[in-house]
Structure 1
Amino acid sequence: MHSFKTESKKLLDLMINSVYTNKEIFLRELISNASDAEDKLYLRSLTDPDVDLGSEELTIRITPDAQARTLTISDNGSGMTAEDLERNLGTIAHSDSEEFKTANSDAQNSAIDIIGQFGVGFYSAFMVAKHVRVVSKAYGDTQAHAWTSDGLEGYEIEDAEREGHGTDVILTLKDDEEPGANGEGGERYSQYLEEWTLRELVRRHSNYVHHPIQMMVTKSRQKPKPEDAGDDYKPEYESYQELETINSMTPIWKKRSSEIEQKDYDEFYKSTFHDFEDPARTISFHAEGALEYDALVFIPSRAPFDLYSRDYEKGLALYSSNVLIQEKCADLVPDYYNFVRGVVASPDVTLNISRETLQQNRQLHAIANRVEKKITAELEDMRDNDREAFEKFFENFGRGLKYGIYASYGMKKDELADLLLFWSAREQKLLTLREYVAAMPADQHAIYYAAGDDRDRLAKMPVVESVLAKGYDVLLCTQDVDEFCFQAMRDYTAKDLPKVYEDEAAREAAQKAQADGAEPEREDRTVELHNVTSGDLDLATDEEKKAAEETAKANDDLLSALKEALGDKVEKVAISTRLAADGAPAVITSEGPLSLEMEQVLSAGPESGDVPRAQRVLEINAQHPVFEKLRAAKDADDSDKINLYAALLYDQALLVEGMMPEDPVAFASKVCELM
């Protein structure tokens, strides 16, 4: 027996117990080794006239034997001599494939894809096997040799028998382990002898290895009908076995989009990502140069049921050398595009030793940036050329785009803002922010919006109606993330719009220049985002402002009494400049960074007890008949009535805002008292 060196024994133990996190990876590694052996022989056949071989002759065979508890992975590739077995399997972390790839880098082509890098994949077999026997015969040799080991102390190499060139890796699987009393632990190694499991592992990890992977599979067929069978004969069936290729070999993403129909993409998407609807858009592209990769990305037609759950995992499937590395590589897509599904395949990404995870590097970052730009461009095309489809997309995934702006503290607004849609109170349809700005009157300098939980209620709010009366549109925002998104954005820049001339002389001069053949002037227009219930919208005329100031000064005693009646419920009571004469008697607004809508959203969260309150302002409509009642109560020095009116105005203003009074029972009692 040949003993592993002390260092090798420690390394082997590390390989078996630490490097790989998933036992099923062993099959991927052994198939990859078999594929490498076949590629080496095929490459040799291209330069050596003595090697008479075509690539179609090279196959990989999987043979389970449930009775003997063995699983055999066979290839008819280059094979190994006794010296090769000693060097490649007796020396841990020695990669013959890596040496071969380096030595023949100039001769490789698209039909050859050497996978091995680290020389440790073979030892993953010991995660599931208690004994491994490798029988190999080098091409052109007459003698086969066998390498056997239990993965503990050492290995043996001896002469063996094998009919043709190639290698058989024979695993004797470990005994099944029973789970513990609490249901933990236990391992059913016999599952790796089951046809369905083996097919699924090949499909998941090695489906696109470019050599046929074959296995005897059980099928059913109808027996011939006996000649003497009567009319009541029922068909009988029998099982039989047939050698079948169980991998696809050619990845769909390797084909150019001009070579494949959309229905093929649709079928691949539905079968791979378990969706019953065709994707809304398909993005396929190839990159060459310093970094080579293929990408096939799908924008789904509907949101998966768990998209906004804590357990949802984003990411694209990552392949290297046609072998699955990560089923969901989260680093390939940003969080706001977490709904995107697809595949990225690159031979250039730097893998860690287990090939289950990636080394973080600039290559991966470059791929992710390109994928993100392609997705953004596709969504922009959908927005501009298929508005109905884009609105359906936004209904499913728009929340995530808004959250992307908020979570990046506004850093991503330039990339995402033009993909957002909001309901226009004036146009009664969804608009982009650019469309809103393009339709603004020349004297409008802000985007106005109202946030709440119901579009119809928002449209009826007095402050919304007053802004609409000024001739300005209002965006009605009904998702809880809307206010946070706009707060993070602060402003929006609409690019390349027709220039707006506020000065009549400048407008006439521009029109004359265009009549003489000049190009129309364009400009980028930056506008702030204003919540109609927060802060001073500055929409009142100078006369209206002056009248409000005079009214406030003349009724300072009344405003002070109302503030005293409400206590710390409000920061102040003021005369409103945003309410029309026939509008509401009062409205609740806010000052500072926290709006009423943000307060409601935060209050609904798990930390509702610690949520800060908005700085509330009760604005009184001095043109409303109720104001005269307030003035009369103050003149009569009726403090009880002042207190009653103040509480009622405050609570009804809260209701208009979609907020419950702090004490609904007291509110109902006050209404009855007034009646």
Structure 2
Amino acid sequence: MTADVEQLEFQAEARQLLDLMIHSVYSNKDAFLRELISNASDALDKLRFEALQNKDWDVDTSDLHIELEVDKQARTLTVRDNGIGMTRDEVVSLIGTLARSGTAELRRKLQEAKDSAAAEELIGQFGVGFYSTFMVADKVELLTRKAGTRGGTRWVSTGDGTYTVESVDDAPQGTAVTLHLKPVDTDDDLHDYTSEWKLRELVKKYSDFISWPIRMQVERRTPGKDGGEDQVTVETQTLNSMKALWARPKDEVSEEEYKEFYKHISHAWDEPLEVITMKGEGTFEYQALLFIPSHAPFDLFHRDAKTGLALYVKRVFVTGDCEQLIPRYLRFVKGVVDAEDVSLNVSRELLQQDRQLTAIRRRLTKKVLSTIKSMQSERPDDYRTFWSQFGAVVKEGLMSDADNRDTLLRICSFASTHSDEQLTTLPEYVERMKEGQDKIYFATGQSREQLLKSPHLEAFKAKGYEVLLLTDPVDELWTGTVIDFDGKPLQSVAKGEVDLDTEEEKKAHEAEREEQQREFGDLLSWLKDVLSDHVKEVRLSTRLTESPACLITDNFGITPALARMYRASGQVVPVGKRILELNPKHPLVKGLQQAHANRGEDDTPLRETAELLYGTALLAEGDIPEDPARFAGLLADRLARTV
């Protein structure tokens, strides 16, 4: 052994997480064994793939397996694999530091979790399964050697905020995690994890489907002859069946087996909302087992989150996150694809161009979407759960997947002015369209409450027209891509001109509007000049019934919200001027007209009123004036005069 020993402190977030893990109460502390076996399985998968990629690599792959070793007297349990292993730097990086984003969120949720079931789900969801070992152990030792290297590393911690790392010469290939178990009588929920029957039970329940043998040495006693001492023999037994679930007929797999397999591949604790099995025959042969989760992972919208499906070729693991198998807008789907003809020797880059994977991706996508559509019509409660968790992600496909856009539009649900509680689909909206209505109207904003108060909706409310209320950030994007649905154009209530009058109403109001145009014409021209830095046009409105003014974007213009999104992502976009619409029947607008007609040489107060009118139009749609301090000063001055 070398003297190269370091004592290091856990990263601050990891230290706080350890404290929560150790002192939080979980009804199912068995979580730790599933996590350790899953990690060992991943290490064996990686070694197998690397060995197939590099035929000259001098590593032993003759008997890849996972081993459980028990020492009852010392009360230790070791989970050992002869997989890829880790270097010293990898040990410090992967275990001593929680580099993953979202750790602070995990700590908050663990502290807020009111019951053990809610707390359990968080272990896998945040990818911190290794730390669950401290729920059952007073001390954890890890011995590892990276395959293809000589020196090994020993890592030891008691979960007190520090750990030691030392280099060793005699470490075998792979990783061994030894748990110094807590006394059973210290916790009513703590099982005896040195018990053979308990370990068998846990492996059968959680890890029976692991494709590598999970072995354990067991003692067998046979009675001695003629009353002599019992004979004790030790034999090595394989605890799991190693049957690939995706290769078995669906009616031969229990619901519990599917649930445990889902938890294994997704490193999550929720139960799947839907199980999808597929078998492709003919030109491209493959088998697939996919899952739609019931809860969104914390990193669903993180750019650096790993996405994709596990890819096997003839039962040989290739990669755990093949992004080429599923479009990004379905990144929440978990599962396995086992193909027959994809070359194992191709690089990750070439995999992206593989036409077989492209064909499989197309079929998987259609199957997932058809499954969601069936869920929507046959199991509305499950569909509502799905949409609440993943709806915002699915809508990303409206921009990127033109081939499946119609299907996507039909499975999408939206809030609308039709109901305060129930979402609506586009087919349902079309069925309710008023006679003579030829457009699907929508509004985008930050919240339903804000949109319902928007001046843009006033005429639609008065006429009884239904408006979709779109509040996800992605709605600003896809509504600029999707032109229509079933031949009905999509129209923003905040864009272009709106005239909801029937032909008879237009004729009845024609004279009135002509008179209003003559009456307010000079004011409109003057306001356009005064507010020329902000607006391109000032006109009378047909969409306002209560508010004095609102701001409108051209039909093909970029909304302020969309412009902010582009700027936040580092893109420079031209910010076009908008149109100010006035309500000719509002007292403020009428008063402004009279003041304009009677203005003197000094029209500064009138110009300030115009600025205030423009600023209130911005505030009404949830925006802020370009110069908030000036707006506040003008408003305060005007209020002071009225006191």
**TM-score, normalised via structure 2 length:** 0.65
Q: CA deviation at 1:128?
A: 3.6
Please state how far the C-alpha of 1:264 moved relative to its aligned partner: 1.8
3-state secondary structure, aligned to 1:489: coil
Whole-Å Cα distance in 1 between the matches of residues 477 and 51 of structure 2?
A: 51
If asked which structure has higher relative contact order (CA below 8 Å, sep 6+), I would say 2
Is 1:174 aligned to residue 174 of structure 2? no
- Give, as a single letter, the amino acid of the residue that structure 2 aligns with 1:649: L
> Are residues 546 and 527 of structure 1, via their aligned partners in 2, closer, same or farther at CA, if it must alter by over 3 Å?
farther
Give the Cα separation in 2 of the matches to 1:257 and 1:651.
62
Matching residue of 1:561: 526
* Corresponding residue number in structure 1 for 2:406: 414
Within the candidate set 453, 457, 470, 1:460 is matched to 453
Q: SS of the counterpart of 1:571?
A: strand
Paired residue secondary structure (1:343): strand
- What secondary structure sits across from 1:587 in the alignment? strand
One of 316, 333, 336 as aligned partner of 1:340: 333
Contact 1:351 1:359 in 2 (8 A): no
Using the TM superposition, give the Cα deviation of residue 263 of structure 1 relative to its aligned residue in structure 2, in angstroms: 2.2
Which residue, out of 557, 579, 583, partners 1:621?
583
Q: 1: distance between equivalents of 2:287 and 2:279?
A: 5
2:492 alignment partner in structure 1 = 531
Q: 1:470 aligns with which of 463, 475, 478?
A: 463
Aligned residues: 465
Q: Could you tell me which amino acid in structure 1 is paired with residue 171 of structure 2?
A: S
Using the alignment, how far apart are the partners of 1:489 and 1:328 within structure 2?
Answer: 30
Partner SS state of residue 567, structure 1: coil
Gap regions ≥5 residues in structure 2: 1-42, 55-61, 70-80, 84-144, 155-166, 179-205, 222-232
Specify which of 610, 631, 634 is matched with residue 667 of structure 1: 631
Q: Which residue of 2 aligns with 1:256?
A: 249
Once residues 585 and 31 of structure 1 are traced to their aligned partners in structure 2, the CA distance between those partners, rounded to angstroms, is 72
**2: distance between equivalents of 1:465 and 1:191?**
74
Question: Match of 2:498, as an amino acid?
Answer: L
CA deviations over 1:228-248 (Å, ceiling 9, x no partner) = xxxxxxxxxxxx975132664
Q: Percent identity?
A: 34
Q: Where does 1:277-316 land on structure 2 (aligned, <5 Å)?
A: 277-316=270-309
Q: Is the 8 A contact 1:561 1:642 kept in 2?
A: no
Describe how 1:389-428 pairs up with structure 2 within 5 A.
Answer: 389-408=382-401, 412-428=404-420
- Match of 1:568, SS state, is coil
Cα offsets for 1:265-287 (capped at 9, x unmatched): 11211233221111111111223
> Is 1:658 equivalent to 2:639 in the alignment?
no
Larger radius of gyration: 1
- The one-letter code matched in structure 2 to 1:594 is G
What is the rounded CA distance, in whole Å, between the counterparts of 2:295 and 2:329 in structure 1? 16
Contact map agreement 1:128 1:189 (CA 8 A) in 2: no
Task: Give matches, 1:346-495, under 5 Å.
Answer: 346-352=339-345, 358=351, 360-408=353-401, 412-428=404-420, 429-493=422-486
CA shift in 2, pair 1:443/1:619, >3 Å: same
Quick check: 250-259 or 631-640, which moved more? 631-640
CA distance in 2, matches of 1:61, 1:407: 42
Unaligned runs of 5+ in 1: 1-21, 34-57, 66-70, 74-125, 130-172, 179-185, 198-202, 222-239, 494-525
Name the CA distance, whole Å, in 2 between partners of 1:60 and 1:586: 73
CA distance in 2, matches of 1:361, 1:599: 36
Residue of structure 2 in register with 1:594 after alignment: 557
1:551 pairs with one of 510, 516, 522: 516
Please give the alpha-carbon distance, in whole angstroms, between the structure 2 residues aligned to 1:627 and 1:63. 82
Q: What secondary structure, in the 3-state scheme, does the structure 2 residue paired with 1:619 have?
A: strand
Deviations 1:562-581 (A, max 9, x none): 1222122001111111112x
Distance 2:484 2:174 in 1: 62
Is the contact made by 1:560 and 1:573 (CA closer than 8 Å) also made in structure 2?
A: yes
1:294·1:345 contact (CA, 8 Å) conserved in 2? yes
Change (3 A) 1:412 1:377: closer
Partner of 2:11: none
Q: How far did 1:302 drift?
A: 0.7
Distance in 1 between residues matched to 2:308 and 2:257, nearest whole Å: 22
Q: Distance in 1 between matches of 2:292 and 2:388?
A: 13
Distance in 2 of aligned mates of 1:268 and 1:644: 67
Q: State the AA in 1 paired with 2:556.
A: P
Q: Could you tell me how far 1:672 is from its partner in structure 2?
A: 2.9
Instruction: Compute the RMSD of aligned alpha carbons.
Output: 4.0
TM, length-normalised to structure 1? 0.62
**Matched-pair contact (CA < 8 Å) for 1:574–1:617:** yes
Q: Out of 563, 584, 589, which is 2:547 matched to?
A: 584
CA distance in 2, matches of 1:177, 1:25: 19
Does the 8 A contact of 1:592 with 1:614 survive in 2? no
- Whole-angstrom distance in 2 between the partners of 1:658 and 1:359: 43
